Amino acid sequence: MYLIGLTGGIASGKSTIAKRLAERGAVHIDADQLSREAVEPGTAALSAIVDRFGSGILQPDGSLDRAALGAIVFSDPEARQELNAIVHPAVRNLGLERIAEAVRMDPAAVVVYDIPLLVESRNEYPFDLVVVAHATPATRLSRLTGIRGMPAEDARQRIGAQASDEERLAVADVVIDTDGSIDETLAQTDRLWEQVRPAPAL
């Protein structure tokens, strides 16, 4: 197995890179998807979140109201840290399970773990390579407000709640510049794949 940790700020183009690597043959594990699984109804993590933040963060069907919870934690760093302390261990366990499953299926697999909190958790995974999708805050703000329709203040809060560009770049083995066109991002991703793809069988 060759394990790539892929990270970047919100709206930095991580999904574009991950999708391209999966198209080329990599196994894609999405930490955002795992974070949703970790707080499904009936999980210990969701129960702990309700204990901390109250039942107002639940939908009528008992599932997590992510927008209601986000409104709390993205404006309160202490609350965000408490939420991460609940969710992060559950996501880590799911991530390690998925990695082990990929290895069982193909010991030579290239696995791409798309993980926004890589800076905070990189020592918990056996990454062979850390790839950072990098776009300027101005570009990311424009994408959030223009493409996703997010209010500008909400977008700034989301960007500010994450690790800084300097922190991400400090742990990068490879940086993919996503400020340009999608084609430029894909070309850089294809060059990365040529470097890490499994050798053809003899």
Query: What value does the mean pLDDT take over residues 164-169?
Result: 88
Comparing 200 with 53, the larger pLDDT belongs to 53
| Domains parsed from the chain with CATH numbers | 2-196 (3.40.50.300)
pLDDT-derived band at 6, boundaries 50, 70, 90: very high
For every residue of 25-60, DSSP letters joined together read TPEEEEHHHHHHHHTSTT-HHHHHHHHHH-GGGB-T
- Taking alpha carbons only, the member of 94, 95, 82, 18 closest to residue 54 is 82
DSSP 64: B
Q: Using one digit for the tens of pLDDT, what is the confidence trace for 89-111?
A: 999 999 999 999 999 999 999 99
- Whole-number Å distance between alpha carbons of 64 and 10: 21
pLDDT at 164: 84
Give the pLDDT mean for 57-61.
95
105/150 Cα distance (integer angstroms): 40
pLDDT digits (tens, 9 = 90+) for 128-163: 999 999 999 889 888 889 878 888 888 887 777 777
Look up the pTM and report it: 0.86
Instruction: Check the CA dihedral 30-35-38-39 and report its sign.
Output: negative
Neighbours of 13 (CB within 10 A): 24
**Residues sharing a CB contact under 8 Å with residue 122, sequence separation 6 or more, in sequence order:** 5, 130, 171
Ordered strands of the 174-177 beta sheet: 27-30, 110-114, 2-8, 129-134, 174-177
- Are 173 and 130 in contact, with CB atoms under 8 Å apart? yes
Closest-CA residue to 91 (of 39, 41, 154, 55): 39
Per-residue model confidence (pLDDT) at position 157: 79
Neighbours of 160 (CB within 10 A): 12
Give the residue-averaged pLDDT of 13-27: 96
